């Protein structure tokens, strides 16, 4: 087993979603070069509309880790395939694998989105002409699955989901 300080994940990948995680700017630029090399080798084109960079300055600015000005200065020049990657504020939610995440681990945007999704689904079910049995099947299959997916990564408290 690796010691705790050596346990790191440098990327989280699923299908065509990729996250590069590093603890400093130099390593981030190195990871970006790896992406460029891989996409060149594989004749792939990065979708720059869906490509963003964000960060947190816990190591270099621990009292203001989400300082927008400092982050922009460091991250505005990150490039992939000779195009600048769009800077994304660390407190703004982004969607990854269907879940809204933030760099400061604020799960309120996901809770709000989940509650809105459930409200809309409940209204649609209430107003549809399906039988009660069909409505229950929909609740058990679709809605339960959607909420279960979110709950695996979003630590809502009991009062929040009550």
* Verdict on whether the full-model pTM lies above 0.75: no
Helix axis angle for 68-75 and 25-41, nearest 10°, is 40
C-beta of residue 87 within 8 angstroms of C-beta of residue 71: yes
Higher pLDDT, 15 or 110: 110
Residue 6 tokens, joined: 């050596």
Long-range contacts (CB closer than 8 Å, 24 or more residues apart) made by 107-115: 107/154, 107/155, 107/156, 110/150, 110/154, 111/154, 111/156, 111/160, 111/161, 114/146, 114/147, 114/150, 114/154
Q: What's the pLDDT score for residue 10?
A: 57
Write out pLDDT tens, residues 22-46.
888 999 999 999 999 999 999 999 9
- Report helix, strand or coil for 99: strand
Closest among 73, 100, 77 to 156, alpha carbons compared:
100
- When the pLDDT of each residue in the chain is averaged and rounded to a whole number, the result is 86
Phi-psi domain of 42 (left: phi exceeds 0; alpha: psi -120 through 50; beta: other): alpha
Residue 86: name the closest of 122, 51, 46 by CA. Answer: 51
Given this model, what pLDDT does residue 16 score? 72
- Judged against a pLDDT cut of 60, whether residue 8 lies above it is answered with no
């Amino acid at each position: 087993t690796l010691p705790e300080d050596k346990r790191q994940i440098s990327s989280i990948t699923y299908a065509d979603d990729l996250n590069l995680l590093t603890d400093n700017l130099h390593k981030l630029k190195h990871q970006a070069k790896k992406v460029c090399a891989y996409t060149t080798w594989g004749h792939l084109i990065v979708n720059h509309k869906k490509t963003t960079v964000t960060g947190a300055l816990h190591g270099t600015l621990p009292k203001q880790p989400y300082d927008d000005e400092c982050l922009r200065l460091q991250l505005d020049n990150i490039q992939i395939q000779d195009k600048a990657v769009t800077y994304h504020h660390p407190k703004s939610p982004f969607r990854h694998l269907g879940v809204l995440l933030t760099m400061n681990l604020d799960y309120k945007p996901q809770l709000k989105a989940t509650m809105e999704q459930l409200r809309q689904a409940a209204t649609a079910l209430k107003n549809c002409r399906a039988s009660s049995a069909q409505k229950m099947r929909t609740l058990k299959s679709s809605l339960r699955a959607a909420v279960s997916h979110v709950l695996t990564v979003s630590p809502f408290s009991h009062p929040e989901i009550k």
